[in-house]
Amino acid sequence: MSATLNQDELLRRYWEEVLQGDARAYAQVHELLHPVLYRYASAMLNDEELAADVIQDLFIKLWFKKERIGPLEHVRAFFFTALRRQALNQLRSLRHLQIIVPGAPDIVFSPEDIIIEEEQESARRDKIVQYLASLPKRQREVIYLRYYEELSYQEVATVMGINYQSVINLSHKGMLQLRRLMGYISVLISLVSGWFVR
């Protein structure tokens, strides 16, 4: 988690330079955030090419709006929030054109998202995916952002556009359901080991 804190400080510094028009600093922001944003967009949109397009559009749009955006305390959370809005707008647009069927964005957990080195753990990996998939969409998204992307509860609230207490409640309910399905110790071991959606 300390790596995330260091990255947050680095992102804040780069963003300050971006506000001065430094394209190299923006390239650094892109380099640091693109992998996590891509995973999130791919999971939301369930389409890797569409996710790549949405992220590219997002970075272009934010570059041209940087002066209006101004200084940011939580650069990472801001980009997640902007990406979520951009992805939801893209989904609405595609629904309007009847390219995709209606439905809320869905964070999809698959066995490929969970990397477990030992072969004998594959059955457990499949069970974890099954348990995560059984959670309601919003609980799944909170758990994804909180434990996989390591966002704070406040940052998750900002990204999802809901209040802080709702994030706490959704996380708590999701973890209770996972504990009920997996057992308390298994959930703790999975969280500590990074087995959730890695």
pLDDT at position 146 = 85
Taking the model in full, what pTM does it have?
0.60
Residues 79 and 126 in one domain: no
Q: Dig out the tokens for 126 from the structure.
A: 């499949």
CA–CA dist 15, 156 (Å, integer):
20
Given 96, 120, 148, the domain boundary residue is 96
| Contacts for 63 with CB less than 8 Å, ≥ 6 apart | 18, 26
Mind listing the pLDDT tens digit of every residue in the chain (198 residues)?
455 558 889 999 999 999 999 999 999 999 999 999 998 998 888 888 889 999 999 999 999 999 999 999 899 999 999 999 888 888 887 765 554 444 555 665 555 554 444 454 566 667 777 788 888 999 989 988 887 788 888 989 998 999 999 998 998 898 888 777 776 545 545 554 554 444
Question: Does 104 fall in a domain?
Answer: no
pLDDT at position 185 = 46
Given 47, 72, 96, the domain boundary residue is 96
pLDDT at position 17 = 95
Q: Does residue 109 contact residue 131 with C-beta atoms inside 8 Å?
A: no
Residues 75 and 137 in one domain: no
pLDDT at position 78 = 93
Question: Does 102 fall in a domain?
Answer: no
pLDDT at position 63 = 92
The domain tally of the chain equals 2
Residues 76 and 133 in one domain: no
Residues 89 and 142 in one domain: no
Task: Write out the residue range of the structural domain in which residue 81 sits.
Answer: 2-96
* CATH number of the domain that residue 135 is part of: 1.10.10.10
CA–CA dist 126, 98 (Å, integer):
33
pLDDT at position 195 = 45
Residues 89 and 115 in one domain: no
Residues 15 and 77 in one domain: yes
Question: Does 172 fall in a domain?
Answer: yes
